[in-house]
Amino acid sequence: MNVFFDIKHLYYLPQYLPVKAALTSKGIECHFVLYKQQDLQEVMIKYVEQESLTYTFVENSDEATCFYQIEKPTWIVFGDYFKNIEQLHQHSNTALMQHGIGPKAYFDASRSNATVRFVEGQYRLKKLQQRFPKNNFIDTGFAKLDPIINQEHASISLTDLGLDPLKKTILYAPTFYPSSIECLAKDWPSDLDNYNIIIKPHFFSLYKKKLKNHQGCFRHWQKFPNVYMADLNDVSIIPFMSISDVLISDASSTLLEFTALNKPAIWTDFYKLRWSYRGILSYRYKKRIGVEINFFAKVAEQVTCYADMLTAIDDVMINPQSKEAQRLEMIELLVGKVDGKVSQRIAEYLISTR
């Protein structure tokens, strides 16, 4: 038996590494298929070799399809919609593990009819069953969090990052769109100089040419002495989540991931929207995000402007138990079991169902 992981983007990997570890502990061969990106090739090779992965690069999904048809793995695990998935079922089973659990296009990925989709929580399970009644869904939880729960991730310290170990730490993890990045004050780290700040943006914000405004903000913010600015080599957010006290985020699934650890978060419900998502075209924003973003207000402190964000940070630092009961209730519904055994459940399913 062997399992192949289809890695459309490098930032998908932290979701799959715990499953790979669970499989290899049972003697199952794992292989990773990555898509060539000229700007990121060196970063990708460095990371997969650092993780001691066996891997193959392909140009696109058509080449990946041919590769899978030749290799005939027992299972192929995908992180998003894959257009050629039906062609693979002659020789392989397919599984879908969505790379994130945020509100952006979460349900659309099941348009590709995988053999099974591993789901996070009863809310998503029921929604998917209603929308795709013929598909197979299994509620396992979110494997990406297992290394934190089990304390098995590569550890870092605030000192390693050049930060003050005596200060509380804020993790700012915005998505690339719709994002709060350009809505923050130009010198916002100086307004919070009594805290450490770790900035871990979405991977796209760090290198996509169309997001050069984001990159300009990052270059400026990293000059502040209380800031650690993550770069492309910081693929996984897990080590940063582990050492942070509070998360600030916008429409990113990181908000659910962080609060699933029963840590407080602040939802910056203010964004820089493209003109094509405003006014009479605002339906595009609603289509992209979905009503599930409203759950963020139940697990995090919702703020609608920069000034309120500053106040909320001080408040949750003083009272991190705020919304704890709601957090625990909603996380069980939205993320599922957070018990450190998610990857084990997924591995056992893959092994038992061939």
- What residues does each domain of the chain span? 2-142+337-352, 169-334
Instruction: Specify the length of the chain in residues.
Output: 354
Helix axes 122-131, 324-334, angle to 10 degrees: 40
Q: What is the pTM of this model?
A: 0.91
pLDDT tens by residue, the chain, 354 residues: 999 999 999 999 999 999 999 999 999 999 999 999 988 999 999 999 999 999 999 999 999 999 999 999 999 999 998 988 999 999 999 999 988 786 655 667 777 789 999 999 898 899 899 999 999 999 999 999 999 999 888 789 999 999 999 999 999 999 888 889 999 999 999 999 999 999 999 999 999 999 999 999 999 999 999 999 999 999 999 999 999 999 999 978 899 999 999 999 999 988 765 555 555 555 455 555 556 778 888 999 999 999 999 999 999 999 999 889 999 888 888 899 999 999 999 999 999 987
The token pair that represents 148 in the structure block: 């934190």
The token pair that represents 226 in the structure block: 């209380």
Q: Which CATH number fits the domain 2-142+337-352, given the four candidates 3.40.1710.10, 3.40.50.2000, 3.40.640.10, 3.40.50.450?
A: 3.40.50.2000
Q: Which CATH superfamily is domain 169-334 in?
A: Glycogen Phosphorylase B; (3.40.50.2000)
Whole-number Å distance between alpha carbons of 155 and 138: 31
| Buried b / exposed e along 20-46 (16+ C-beta atoms within 10 A) | bbbbeeeebebbbbbbeeeebeebbee
- Taking alpha carbons only, the member of 173, 123, 140 closest to residue 22 is 140
